[in-house]
Structure 1
């Protein structure tokens, strides 16, 4: 699955509030407003790199409407 939008933060910023919208889109052709449903995910990278690696901590929401106004994520899994 390709990310539609990203917000990069440091672990020291947790917890934090953020807004995902068309301004955070990774590509002008893949705007969040083009999708009815999305999955919100988070990853704490051990290496600091964008590519997921073994040992990174992750969490993701169930599918939700892209118009949702509040989502709480639990980072509770480890990348195999």
Structure 2
């Protein structure tokens, strides 16, 4: 089971018919490295963005998996 963390911040870009880019800032629960990712959320999942969502990510620094909660 992956450790979880809550995003320090996330910013949703402009939505279009294909999806939307979301910028995530979070701290790795394994090594405390502050990480930044840009993810693509498909158009069919737009309702999840509005209500908060989770995304599986890998830490750039230590390479371990985690679940980032965006709320």
Say which one has the larger Rg. Answer: 1
- TM-score (normalised: structure 1): 0.30
Q: Larger strand proportion, structure 1 or 2?
A: 2
